[in-house]
Structure 1
């Protein structure tokens, strides 16, 4: 549990740090979904029930994607290819940081890969409008979770590099919870948050933190001494030679 906590906090932080991207990518969609609720239900608990339904469905899809990607990551680790997956994860996070800072938009090409899947899902999502029940909101949110997003893809590859379906799903769940505050706020609070996230200092700081984490994720000797695996591996190696 002690080893798991830093990973969960990192996933949560990635969701929070990507808040500016979330508003740019999904803020308009969140507003459109809110307007899709009949006017008489757009207040009080009726509104919050639907908004929470959207986001619970979205985060559930992130967790499902994490489980699938984590299974693939486990396969690569079992084939001895885990180091290449970690390399890809680190590079994707660096690309995400550059994207958040508006220094390089190459990650948009990766998002384009998911648009083929979204073309098939979008008509199904439209059939659920207008939203009048929490069950509809949940289903619509589950489809929304597959919207092409570089931030999600970067985090998903990082989560899958852990080589465990369960852990990867947990990390994507934590990441989704990190995005929740940004996408739940509405009205004046949303405008204030948008103004805050658009400030150059805030955006650059968030981008640099993501880039630094990407650099830390890249394969290297630092993983051995940070986790103690290096000493363990060397001990087991010397033990095998003594026999």
Structure 2
């Protein structure tokens, strides 16, 4: 699970360069030495990882509720279908969903809070920027959250999203240190491949929910009676 999460985060990090790249390039990092620059960037990314871990804990807990209710299979299949619809529908509809006033208000608050923190060059402000940046909309974070909910465990959800965040650090560290050498053509190529990756994740979640008993791909999911029995034994 941890290896899967790191790979997932690493692949998604190239998309993050486009989404979070401007923030990473503008961070009020300490530039006096390479060491201080690296430490500053790592502190910022630590904030992001912690936010992802908390999000994973919450959605893992939600998935656990579905597991206790005996709906883990249905949840996995439903989430897989949701990802497929999210990937396919935009090609058939010109309606834009991102201009939602209910989402814009909290998003504006987060962005304004980040902007204020940019005025202070300290490790505490960098850490806070990272915490807030983890709340900004990101397609790959959404995919990670959906996968987390299908795990049916708060702890597993927290671990998955934490390692997802760790998987994004190499690219984010690279853009912070080697900002003049980042090839944005690579980011654009990755962006074109994102729909294919989303379709793959959607199909994997559906196969996982089919409970085929295939290790790693479609492992046996506990039924409601099995979960309750296991809980009573503990």
Shorter-normalised TM-score: what interval? 0.7 to 0.9
How well do the aligned residues superpose, as a CA RMSD in angstroms? 3.4
The 3-state SS of whatever aligns with 1:225 is: coil
Residues 40 and 126 in structure 2, CA contact (< 8 A), matched pair in contact too: yes
Larger RCO: Structure 1 or Structure 2 (Cα < 8 Å, ≥ 6 residues apart)?
2
**CA distance in structure 2 between the partners assigned to 1:216 and 1:189 by the alignment:** 38
Written as runs of structure 1 = structure 2, the 5 A alignment for 1:163-242 is 163-186=152-175, 187=178, 190-192=181-183, 194-199=184-189, 207-219=195-207, 223-227=211-215, 229=220
Task: Report the TM-score, using the length of structure 1 for normalisation.
Answer: 0.74
Partner of 2:124: 135
Task: Report the TM-score, using the length of structure 2 for normalisation.
Answer: 0.76
Partner of 1:64: 54
Partner of 1:239: none
Post-superposition CA distance 1:3-26 (Å, at most 9, x none): xxxx22222222122233211111
Residues 96 and 154 in structure 1, CA contact (< 8 A), matched pair in contact too: no
**CA distance in structure 1 between the partners assigned to 2:110 and 2:187 by the alignment:** 30
Unaligned runs of 5+ in 1: 1-6, 237-243
Post-superposition CA distance 1:1-49 (Å, at most 9, x none): xxxxxx222222221222332111111121122xx346xx354222112
Partner of 2:17: 23
**CA distance in structure 2 between the partners assigned to 1:30 and 1:50 by the alignment:** 11
Residues 77 and 208 in structure 2, CA contact (< 8 A), matched pair in contact too: no
**CA distance in structure 1 between the partners assigned to 2:128 and 2:167 by the alignment:** 21
Residues 8 and 167 in structure 2, CA contact (< 8 A), matched pair in contact too: yes
Question: How many residue pairs end up in the alignment?
Answer: 218
Written as runs of structure 1 = structure 2, the 5 A alignment for 1:23-62 is 23-33=17-27, 36-37=28-29, 41=31, 43-62=33-52
Shift of 1:80: 2.5
CA spacing shift, 1:49–1:131, aligned 2, 3 Å: farther
CA spacing shift, 1:173–1:154, aligned 2, 3 Å: same
Unaligned runs of 5+ in 2: 227-234
**CA distance in structure 1 between the partners assigned to 2:85 and 2:168 by the alignment:** 19
